[in-house]
Copies of this chain bind each other. A is one copy, B any other.
Amino acid sequence: MTETSPTQLQPEMPPTRWGDPAHAGPLPDGVRDLVGMVFALGDTPAASDVTVPAPALAEQLVEALRGIVGADAVVLDDGVRRLRTRGKSTPDLLRQRAGDLGDAPDVVVRPGSHEEVQAVLDLAQEHRIAVVPFGGGTSVTGGLVSERDGFAGVVSLDLGRMRDLVALDPVSSTATLGPGLRGPEAEALLAERGLMLGHFPQSFEFATIGGFAATRSSGQSSAGYGRFDAMVVGLRAATPKGEVRLGGTSPSNASGPDLRELFLGSEGAFGVITEVTVRVRPLPEVKEYEGWQWPSFEAGAAAMRALAQGDLMPTVLRLSDENETAINLARPDAIGGDAAGGCLMIVGYEGTPAATAAKKAAVTAALAELGGTALGAEPGEAWAHGRFNAPYLRDSLLDVGVLVETLETVTFWSNRDRLYTNVKAALEGALGEGTMVLCHISHVYATGCSLYFTVASSGGEQPLERWLTAKRAVNDAIVASGASITHHHAVGTDHKAWLTPEIGQVGVDVLRAVKRELDPAGILNPGVLIP
């Protein structure tokens, strides 16, 4: 294990905001002007004085946890428990800002090994302690909110000490990574060896390898490198029934159902992922990003579809709709500045010079023939530069009373326009006049694509209630449109009620059966995922 003291936390996000405080700032002038035109800007709400509930776990159980992981790795401190309370959805931030810490864990436990995780689960099973695995704390779907009723207490199982490059097989191009490695740490460990994972979700700076696996994350280079679940070759997990190791023999096989796919997306409800083996790649020698302009969202989407169905995928492929293009959301540093008009597509190429040049030539020819206008490197570089900045902007907008949130879904190509129309209508209907709905496509398959929405509206007197009402309406609209309730944000508690229509009652019964088998006492992230 990496040699860090059990009490030494990595740099943390503030409880009420996204990301690294050093990167945050006041609302840029361009955005302030834009926002001022649309919304009545309010004052920044005062940060509430907040109180963390006292730990409810019995002292002898705290002592037993100390016996497993060491006294230093059992943290009762209020500030740390506040940092382990919920995730980073807009409702989570609003609740933190309002001083609501009712979901704070009783104790933060920081195991240093698979064996320590297993021992914590054994103890938790015996004494009915709820265990919430905690990686980067970046959930935006209520994935870190445990039920409390009937439990002796709630442990936040912080995997931040398990940050090793456990194994590397350069011949097979696989690496085994600790679950607590954040995105940049994992990439840095691999980069020292000339390798790359290539998973860059918006949450990259803070989210972890274990979390990527447990939630089926998808990143901004998914066109070239695939979803995170597609990168996973194997995994190890601790469950109340014992250790599970899957994928150790081979990339793929016909040895029955693929049980890796049960743990991917299991959101801590079936076990705690303690190692993830992924496919790695050589670091790209070349990275080129460029912009293309399309006359409409429809035309740009059709071009994406043609590339995907022709197996001609660049590394990055993203298309903003007219609204998103108009306010430059794909380029957070330039929001409010001049936009190109139409719909902006970002196309990125990474790899060897020869492969990149060949792919770029073929994609360029295809996009030109389909009616796109090449905008050159500048919009692409601007996107690449600002790609992780959007969540910081949300905080600045919340500061001035503007409600901002994102949500996403995925469907088949033939259903894309219907889904787009229905989601926009649901948001505008629920939030009323002055609501801005922006959308982009950022993940593309041969048979379909994701739709990622950003919505901004005035917060009003009760921003939390306003948003929860809108979120219910949009979830209903997604289900009614025949789409998936989530493309890469996972189910958590926020989407749970909409899972049943998607996988059917028999599907839910199967999840419950697996849960009963692996976690008969129901201690693992109770209340998450399974309706």
Contact = CB atoms under 8 A, between A and B. Distances in A.
Interface of A: 169, 171-174, 215-218, 227, 229, 233, 239, 241-246, 248-267, 270, 279, 281, 305, 309-312, 351-352, 354-355, 358, 362, 409-415, 445-448, 482-491, 495, 499, 502-507, 509-514, 516-518, 529-530
Q: Report which residue of A281, A447, A484, A512 has the largest number of chain B beta carbons within 10 angstroms of its beta carbon.
A: A447
A355 B363 CA distance: 11
17 contacts: A169-B414, A171-B412, A172-B413, A172-B415, A173-B446, A174-B412, A229-B258, A246-B504, A249-B411, A252-B445, A254-B265, A256-B267, A256-B529, A258-B264, A261-B261, A281-B309, A509-B517
Contacts of A254: 215-218, 265, 486-491
A255 B503 contact: yes
A249 B510 contact: no
Nearest to A517: B513
Nearest to A141: B254
Q: Across the A-B interface, give the 5 residue pairs with the lowest CB-CB distance, nearest first.
A: A261-B261, A513-B517, A253-B484, A251-B445, A171-B414
Contacts of A530: 256
Contacts of A412: 169, 171-172, 174, 250-251
Given A169-B412, A255-B499, A446-B251, A506 B241 contact: yes
B171 A256 contact: no
B312 A355 contact: yes
A487 B250 contact: yes
B253 A263 contact: no
Contacts of A488: 253-254
B249 A483 contact: yes
Contacts of A310: 352, 355
